[in-house]
A and B are shown apart, each in its own frame.
Chain A
């Protein structure tokens, strides 16, 4: 989160904040002279709605960039990542990633500002065995104290390698239902089945979450920009039928996107569910209604405020490590790139701007004070999180659009004051 000066709309808050000059750059603004990473979208090739992988799965990472053209990406990975309690991730055995890269696309309106690359690679089948994400023994100690006792002692006494072998055995056995039956073809499976039902199932959610590890992808773009991205590998996909205890994470999706035109100026915050100012929603994209407006022209008027809004699909239910249901949270990142005609440069105070201080779905759009700024591209990324769930795979997606501006004369006359 960047520190920013408060804008013209709320002088009161400016008085509360120590003096600092506005920076020429902002997080939300995409500059054409620097690479901006909009998103890394993970898709499991076996189920492209999922953003997580199981050992042995093939993954596709769609890297979306904007701004400076990407002409070079070097990708490396580590399949051995330790994450400390304080959040520091340490990667070991980092090496070049064996991948294929293609151009890809995301939901968009046809604009060509984005550089989109898709990387496909395979998760080593023995990744969880070789990773040091848990100690070989006493792995139960990683759990919070109050839930350690939920792990049956017979399982808790097993080593990490033994647990992984057990999980793989469970996932490999044909017809998972056979594990639910006490009558199996192979007597050896009987004990396994018994263990599955009596020992594993009651604490499946906790064990499967605990036995999650991260892959660290490191991308080096244009020889200058370093990006770290993490993907979670776990056995959830193999146990999806245990849907009360095991929930695989899907990528959230932008379902709707547009602009609120609010009939009151100088607003910095607007939510139609709680505020009463009259407004007009301009829908640029609606997946359910089949609406996609490309190259919309937004007429900027005096005495109005403008907000970009986005909606995502329903938030999934997740589970905490202790099995408590959690509704995941959708967070929104907004990016924009303005363009202008007829001039080489625009003063900072005249530029189009957008402030996202809350990771929320509605953000104020501050129109430019000059009609030279006649268009912009906007990206909205939605990603999910579920605090309480261990190494919750980050799902995300992006919607990109573009629209144009016209300005009323009244607005242009007043815009010097407004700024």
Chain B
């Protein structure tokens, strides 16, 4: 077939040529796809017979004037888009003589494209130097995206996610937008779905599965652009939070800003309180979170008192605060804030710890086999590690419970300075006072008044000086006051106390602590702590006893840790406590003479120095040996030069000073990541107890030696899973040079009553199976099997000690319930406490007092102790604060089975009853922000 170059205008003649699309630059095109025309330059013959030669073009036609075709809005909204393929006959003058539809898109679009194309103006094509007419194909594209106006990409929906109650910003949260109403915005030029897909490409947002998605930044902010006017469903999916969603309405040309407050699934996970060092240097390793602490019934949310729920700690009498570690006396254990000794651990002998739990980061409990960092004690150690003030913003809480009001405020003062202040004051003494007054008004003649009162405060400032220095200074103090007033009381001496109708016991201290941590070098760190404590104690008892004690205690603790190599770190340290005490005791002696004993500037203390090493012998085996020496300035005996692991003090060489060396070593062997073996041994010493009385110049024996102990511990830890673990420990402890009061030695000169000739030994095993604080549940089983005994100089065999509790089982658990409820349970079973039976009595006629005659010491026991406690907490999370209430029932079974604490006897010891505690109920409310 002969190909012709059509020279004459022929609008109705469809011509099939190979068409080229040429690039055009229309004046206003919305098509992003260029329209090009290809010209087959092989066609050169026009108007000639098929036998003529085809002309080749010298130049192609170029579009000079582009006319935009009308793209009807209704078609855009309907989503109609596509390409119309046109055939254009361009004359020698460059005008379009005729337009043909080669490929249709839509009839209306076809026509509009053709109409527009008719008005195109081209530069004429040329062939052999002359303009020629050409036919070409032209694609006219109609695309929806062209209908969208770029400048609509502004943000019109933004917001911020803040955690409900705490107002913490929530970063990296994913925000989903679903559009529920796709028809309300009639102004959209394109179909809704197309619109969304298009705006899904804008910065900061994406389109997936019909939803627009964005993430919050570090401050919890999110934003969306170019939303159409419609209803949307906003959903926030955040791990650890309850699902959150809201419906919003986007209004055209208006920006919507919101603040959302998703609610956490659990609100008490901010601090972790660790029991037992998290590091490997100590055998014990137990962790408890603050949530767990607060859910355990009967401990009042007190992080120190909860130690009583762990294995190795005996059950105290009447729920007081005594920490009875492995069958030893409470005064054999030490209590520290960091490395500084606390003057008073509990308010009123066990109600609450004096250091506010809210200000604690960690509580370390070492039941035995501890390292050389602590000295002056022969049993366990409780070490409180305070936390720093929060630095992000102002935080606080206020709490009212059955005992006291408690508050805290903390936050940043400066970018490098933060401050924490908290305080607590009991109020039940005020309530009781009002009740007493009211009863008197009502005509009740009260024979007795009881007034109990305490407060404590803490203020801490943390200062950061560069990256290498951290400094903190704290003020910490407490006061306890107890008065029992018996209006009808008689007796006593006004020479001892002017008021003989009451017992007053007041204890107060104020403590300043400074702490400096210095990263000297990458391989060297130093910790320096200083404490100054002003302490006073006043006791007067119905004109029969008066004690006044005042002291200003200086404490210095410094440890330098030097990393020698990746296997070895050496830490020398000093641990000094000096307490010059002014002590006055006024009391009648056995013959009635009133003795006023005043000792001024009586220096007590512990002057200790130690050297500690951490040696990683192999990948699995680590050793932690240490040497320590303690000097006791209040004692006046010749101390041993050699560490005493047994009572061989008489044979050991002496030095002319009252001090003892210690050797302690801990070893850890990691079988694998889940199984760890630990062992520890060491010797310990302390000033004889009860302190002051035992070595009193008048009532005691100043020349007594220190009491000593040795510990041998084996431990095994099995981390079954990340949450489930089993911890087993066995121990054997020995004590000797334990003081003994012997009043049978009634020498006329009264020259000696105290002797240090009692030995003790304690051994046992402890098991803790623990499920750590998971999302819904936590719990543990703590079982202690133990035996504690003593032997005096005239005893032929070992006899039970009064703190011997062979079996002590505790089951503790907490569960997170729906609707903001938490529940905790604690079951306790303990063998009864040893008692000495009374086999007779003697009446001391002069005072009409019956004095019992005792049978074999500690040969009897009370009935077992068994109880179940429950605690319920309810948390309501409001927008800007959290409000919670609790009720604590520590002894549910008390009504049915009164667990005996001890026996009380009638006046002549012929009858006895078990003394049980009344089941108490405690409750409280709390507000925090």
Contact = CB atoms under 8 A, between A and B. Distances in A.
Interface of A: 1-3, 10, 12-13, 15-21, 23-27, 34, 37, 39-40, 82-90, 132-135, 138-139, 141-146, 225-230, 264, 267-271, 275, 277, 320-321, 324, 326, 329-331, 333, 357-360, 362, 381, 383, 385-392, 394
Contacts of B444: 10, 267
Chain B interface size, as a band, is 35 or more
A9 to B, nearest CB: 9
Given A226-B840, A269-B447, 7 more contacts: A12-B435, A83-B746, A144-B596, A324-B495, A387-B495, A387-B543, A390-B591
B490 A331 contact: yes
B499 to A, nearest CB: 14
A265 to B, nearest CB: 10
Contacts of B590: 83-89
B445 A387 contact: no
A340 B263 CA distance: 73
B471 interface: no
B493 A82 contact: no
Nearest to A321: B593
Contacts of B911: 23-25
Contact of B907 (A16, A27, A40, A385): A27
Contacts of A89: 590, 746
Contacts of B318: 18
Contacts of A388: 493, 495, 588, 592-594
Q: Give the 8 A-B residue pairs with the shortest CB-CB distance, closest first.
A: A358-B488, A87-B590, A387-B493, A27-B907, A88-B743, A84-B746, A269-B447, A82-B746
A5 to B, nearest CB: 9
Given A270-B445, A358-B490, A144 B592 contact: no
Nearest to A131: B748
Interface in B873-929: 894, 898, 901, 904-908, 910-911, 913-918
Given A142-B749, A269-B445, A320-B594, A329 B490 contact: yes
A146 B445 contact: no
A277 B488 contact: no
Interface string B340-366: 000000000000000000000000000
B594 A329 contact: no
A228 B596 contact: no
Given A269-B445, A387-B496, A21 B913 contact: yes
Nearest to B918: A19
A141 to B, nearest CB: 6
A360 B488 contact: yes
A358 B495 contact: no
Contact of B906 (A26, A142, A227, A386): A26
A40 B845 contact: yes
B447 A277 contact: no
Nearest to A221: B843
A39 B597 CA distance: 35
24 contacts: A1-B849, A18-B915, A25-B907, A25-B911, A34-B910, A37-B845, A40-B845, A83-B590, A83-B746, A84-B743, A84-B747, A86-B741, A88-B743, A133-B748, A138-B749, A267-B444, A269-B447, A269-B487, A333-B848, A358-B486, A358-B490, A381-B848, A387-B496, A392-B592
A29 to B, nearest CB: 9
B440 to A, nearest CB: 10
Contacts of A277: 443, 445
A391 B591 contact: yes
Given A84-B590, A333-B848, A19 B842 contact: no
Contacts of B596: 144, 146
Contacts of B746: 82-84, 88-90
B591 A227 contact: no
A88 B744 contact: yes
A358 B501 CA distance: 10
A162 B722 CA distance: 84
B330 interface: no
B747 A82 contact: yes
B592 A391 contact: yes
Contacts of B496: 387
A387 B544 contact: yes
Contacts of B489: 358
A228 B846 CA distance: 8
Contacts of A134: 748
Contacts of B450: 16
B844 interface: yes
Given A146-B596, A329-B491, A86 B753 contact: yes
A225 to B, nearest CB: 7
Contacts of B493: 326, 387-388
Contacts of B445: 267-271, 275, 277
Given A133-B748, A326-B495, A144 B917 contact: no
Contact of A225 (B448, B595, B843, B849): B843
B847 to A, nearest CB: 8
Contacts of A359: 490-491
A359 B844 CA distance: 16
Nearest to B842: A226
Contacts of A18: 318, 901, 915-918
A13 B918 CA distance: 12
A154 to B, nearest CB: 21
A230 B569 CA distance: 69
A390 B446 CA distance: 35
Contacts of A357: 447, 486, 488
A347 B717 CA distance: 60
Interface centre among B493, B848, B917 (most CB of A within 10 A): B848
Given A16-B450, A83-B746, A387-B588, A394 B913 contact: no
A415 B556 CA distance: 67
B591 A83 contact: yes
Interface string B838-861: 001111111111000000000000
